[in-house]
Structure 1
Amino acid sequence: MDQAERLRKLVEKRPETVQSPVRGNARVIAVTSGKGGVGKTNLTVNLAIALGMKGRRVLVIDADLGMANVEVVLGSSTKKHLLNLLEDGTKLADVLVHGPYGVDYISGGSGIEKAQAFDGAQKGQLLVKLMEAGELADIILVDTGAGLGKNVMDFILAADQVLLITTPEPTALTDAYAVMKAYSMYAPEPDLSLIVNRVYDERESRDVVAKLTQTASRFLKLDVGCLGYVYEDTAVMRSVRRQMPFLILQPEAIASRCVRAMADSLLYGTTMAVRRGWRGFLQQIFHFSR
């Protein structure tokens, strides 16, 4: 199915107007991507840790319905998950997990067959029960599914801000643009920023951002920002295998420094500037290949 056909089908099922599923002063940030495999959940969890280290109360909601990716990254587990909120008598406190490294999260679960049957009425019930979360956190990171599914669109349209993760790969860029296009059609007050993952140098990141932002401005009339970038780093793969966030496993790794810089950008509006340096140069020469 090509991008144009996907967008046509999305228009046929235009998302309803969705109110933010929280109350209080929590800042709701949806983290999404055009395709899977770009490191979305891994970055979400590590960004949550970085924000927590700066004194913020952070809650991660795994809204990739039917999956439990946040649990996998944290090396944690829970018997209750997001879809249990559809059950009578199940409250937010029943599914909220005080996970390791100071990360509070709600798992997406692993019952994919239930997620496929998720309808509008159930979504409304879910949002009502999630409202209390706005009083429990300063920042809520909503880790959505990838692509243009209706559930994904509902979550990103309900958020205060959207972080769109891509990599420099052409397929990732094409799918990221498709998300930007759909978002621009429905968001009343769009606020979208890019994160470019797995770059080899800062120039590559700038090139990717320039392509997407200029195209969005010209064809979508959408003003797109850039939160930052994350260098390709072997520490990330090691952390995935050990089911431990790289910010904890190797806090001085280049990827960890990038995530901390992005946390500063989110909180203080600073411009991200992380250099590889000589050590990073040697790591790229001896460990990475294009």
Structure 2
Amino acid sequence: MMTDQAARLREQLNMRHNQPKQAHTIAVTSGKGGVGKSNFSLNFSLALLKENHRVLLFDLDIGMGNIEILIGSSSQHTIVDFLEQQLSIADIITKGPSGLDYISGGTGLTNLFKLSESKFQHFASQLERVFHHYDYVIFDMGAGISEDALRFILSVDEIIAITTPEPTSLTDAYAAIKYICINNDSIPFSIVVNRSYDRKVGESTYQRLSLTIKQFLSRDIPLLGTIPDDPSIMKAVIHQTPFLLYQPNSQASKALINLTSDYLKSKSTSSSNIEQKAFITKLKSFFMKGR
């Protein structure tokens, strides 16, 4: 069954390979673990899918990947197999809930920029093929930002930073944003306040972080949305089902749907294609610098 799925996807990738359309790449980051980053990445991907967009969720939370835990499933191959066995990217894409395509993480990418040139070229060329098949490729990054992860993050079209109202979460979120902005002060950013007690707390949390960013980094980073501290989220995690599917009418699900709707309204399709085509070029440039 997995072989048949890979064969069908390989045919689709080949059909779309010569199309000019490119996927929009998003890195979901956080300054620390435990803020719900992977849960957001998963459910945001499903919300985009619900709006009839083709989405690939790429788990890059190396060694601590949670996507498969959150959906209660496992894939036949991971990114490690892809690198070590020179597989096609179609071989490592797995169907998840609601038909969501995802790639399972592993330990191999800890040395992504120290790969041999042939292995990296394989990785880059296969990834480029994917961009012709999907509208969005979402990278669920690991907590914190290593030097190698930074190079990858700086190659994407935009970044979504996840924080919570906790003071330590805010401090770590600011540190991560600062680190990225020091290396690229123009890369598009947005902020999501997760586990907010209510909308007012979420917005005041954002205001504190936003003012600090404005004062010390001279950046205006918009609020993408707030997600309440909803008991249904923990229940969904226990049942290993995305909360958007577990309780579609919960406060968290409604907030996520509204957030996604606002996000899509803000996108300018006319200007995005120019940015998207640069992803592989930037990634290759960072690889050459890291050799």
Q: What's the TM-score, normalizing by structure 2? A: 0.79
Could you report, residue by residue, the CA deviation over 1:210-253 in whole angstroms, capped at 9, with x for unpaired residues? 11111111111122111000001110000000100011110000
Residue 274 of structure 1: aligned partner: none
One-letter identity of the residue aligned with 1:90? L
Residue 129 of structure 2: aligned partner: 132
The yes-or-no answer on 1:120 pairing with 2:117 is no
Residue 91 of structure 2: aligned partner: 94
Instruction: Name the CA distance, whole Å, in 1 between partners of 2:64 and 2:35.
Output: 16
One-letter identity of the residue aligned with 2:189? L
Matches within 5 A, 1:156-195: 156-187=153-184, 189-195=186-192
Sort the Cα spacing of 1:118 and 1:227 in 2 relative to 1 into closer, same or farther, 3 A. Answer: same
Count of equivalent residues: 245
Give secondary structure in 2 for the equivalent of 1:224.
coil
One-letter identity of the residue aligned with 2:80? L
One-letter identity of the residue aligned with 1:83? V
Deviation for aligned residue 1:186: 1.1
Q: Are the counterparts in 2 of residues 62 and 144 from structure 1 also a CA contact under 8 Å? A: yes
Q: Are the counterparts in 1 of residues 224 and 259 from structure 2 also a CA contact under 8 Å? A: yes
Instruction: Name the CA distance, whole Å, in 2 between partners of 1:43 and 1:67.
Output: 16
The yes-or-no answer on 1:70 pairing with 2:64 is no
One-letter identity of the residue aligned with 1:147? G
Deviation for aligned residue 1:38: 0.3
Percent sequence identity over matched residues?
Answer: 38
Residue 154 of structure 1: aligned partner: 151
The yes-or-no answer on 1:243 pairing with 2:240 is yes
Residue 201 of structure 1: aligned partner: 198
Q: Are the counterparts in 2 of residues 73 and 245 from structure 1 also a CA contact under 8 Å? A: yes
Deviation for aligned residue 1:205: 1.1
Deviation for aligned residue 1:69: 1.1
Residue 284 of structure 2: aligned partner: none
Sort the Cα spacing of 1:264 and 1:25 in 2 relative to 1 into closer, same or farther, 3 A. Answer: same
Instruction: Name the CA distance, whole Å, in 2 between partners of 1:77 and 1:89.
Output: 20
> Unpaired segments of 5 or more residues in structure 2?
1-19, 268-291
Give secondary structure in 1 for the equivalent of 2:222.
strand
> Unpaired segments of 5 or more residues in structure 1?
1-22, 271-290
Q: Are the counterparts in 1 of residues 112 and 120 from structure 2 also a CA contact under 8 Å? A: no
Residue 281 of structure 1: aligned partner: none
Deviates more, 1:78-87 or 1:163-172: 78-87
Residue 4 of structure 1: aligned partner: none
The yes-or-no answer on 1:53 pairing with 2:50 is yes
Residue 213 of structure 2: aligned partner: 216
Instruction: Name the CA distance, whole Å, in 2 between partners of 1:28 and 1:188.
Output: 18
Q: What's the TM-score, normalizing by structure 1? A: 0.80
Deviation for aligned residue 1:48: 0.8
One-letter identity of the residue aligned with 2:169? A
Matches within 5 A, 1:10-89: 24-89=21-86
Q: Are the counterparts in 2 of residues 146 and 152 from structure 1 also a CA contact under 8 Å? A: no
Q: Are the counterparts in 2 of residues 30 and 144 from structure 1 also a CA contact under 8 Å? A: yes
Q: Are the counterparts in 2 of residues 66 and 115 from structure 1 also a CA contact under 8 Å? A: no
Could you report, residue by residue, the CA deviation over 1:252-278 in whole angstroms, capped at 9, with x for unpaired residues? 0000001101111211129xxxxxxxx
Point out the structure with the larger helix share: 2
Deviation for aligned residue 1:85: 2.3
Residue 8 of structure 2: aligned partner: none
